[in-house]
Structure 1
Amino acid sequence: MIVREQKYLVINCDDFGQSAPMNAAIMHLLEERRVSSATIMAPAPGFEEAAAWCRKRGQANIGLHLTLTSEFEAIRWKSLTGDPSLHDDGGHMYRTLLEFERGANTAAVVKELDAQYERVRRAGIAITHADNHMGSLYGIAMGRSHIPQALMKCVKWKVPFRLFRRVHPEDILASVPGVERAVGKASALAGTLGVAIPDYLLSHPFEIEDGETYESFKQSMIAKLYRLPEGISETYIHPAIPDDAMLAAIPHWEKRVWEYRLMLDDDVHAAMKDAGVTLTDYAFIARHGRASRLRSAWALGTELLRRS
Structure 2
Amino acid sequence: MGHPRLMPNDRAIIINADDFGITHSANQAIVELFENDSITSSSLMVPCTAAIEVPKLCSMNHKIKVGIHLTLTSTENYSLKPVFQEYDLGSLVTDEGFFPKDLTFVEMNADPSQVKAELEAQIIWALSHGIDVTHLDSHAGSVMGLATGRDFLEIVFDLCEKYELPFNLPLRIIDQSFFSRSQKSLFEQRIVSAKRRGIKLIDDLISLPYHLEPGENYDQMRDRLIQQIECCKPGITQIVAHPAKVTRELQSLTPHFEKRGLEFLLFNDPLIKHTLQNNHIKLISWEYLRSLQQSKKSPY
Same fold (TM over 0.5): yes
How far off is 1:234 after superposition?
Answer: 0.9
CA offsets 1:92-131 (integer angstroms, 9 cap, x no match): 1111111111221111000011111111111111201111
1:276 aligns with 2:285: no
1:285 partner amino acid:
L
Which blocks of at least 5 consecutive residues in structure 1 are unaligned? 294-308
Superposed, 1:204-283 pairs within 5 Å as 204-247=208-251, 249-283=253-287
1:96 aligns with 2:112: no
How far off is 1:174 after superposition?
Answer: 3.1
Aligned to 2:79: 76
Check whether the contact 1:14–1:238 (CA below 8 A) recurs between aligned residues: yes
Aligned to 1:302: none
Superposed, 1:89-238 pairs within 5 Å as 89-167=95-173, 173-178=176-181, 179-238=183-242
How far off is 1:207 after superposition?
Answer: 1.1
How far off is 1:79 after superposition?
Answer: 0.2
Aligned to 2:10: 6
Q: Which moved more, 1:4-13 or 1:181-190?
A: 181-190
TM-score (norm 2): 0.90
1:129 partner amino acid:
H
Q: Which moved more, 1:246-255 or 1:43-52?
A: 246-255
**Paired-residue identity, %:** 27
How far off is 1:256 after superposition?
Answer: 0.7
Query: C-alpha separation between the residues in 1 aligned to 2:292 and 2:237?
Result: 12
1:234 partner amino acid:
Q
The number of residues matched between the two structures is 288
Check whether the contact 1:86–1:100 (CA below 8 A) recurs between aligned residues: yes
1:186 partner amino acid:
R
Check whether the contact 1:166–1:183 (CA below 8 A) recurs between aligned residues: no
Query: C-alpha separation between the residues in 1 aligned to 2:13 and 2:174?
Result: 14
Check whether the contact 1:15–1:238 (CA below 8 A) recurs between aligned residues: yes
Query: C-alpha separation between the residues in 2 aligned to 1:245 and 1:99?
Result: 27
CA offsets 1:4-24 (integer angstroms, 9 cap, x no match): 201000011111111111111
Query: C-alpha separation between the residues in 2 aligned to 1:224 and 1:218?
Result: 10
| SS state at 1:128 partner | strand
Kindly report the root-mean-square deviation, in angstroms, between the aligned alpha carbons of the 2 structures: 2.1
| SS state at 1:64 partner | strand
How far off is 1:188 after superposition?
Answer: 1.1
Query: C-alpha separation between the residues in 1 aligned to 2:288 and 2:174?
Result: 21
TM-score (norm 1): 0.88
Query: C-alpha separation between the residues in 2 aligned to 1:101 and 1:168?
Result: 21
2:283 partner amino acid:
L
Which blocks of at least 5 consecutive residues in structure 2 are unaligned? none
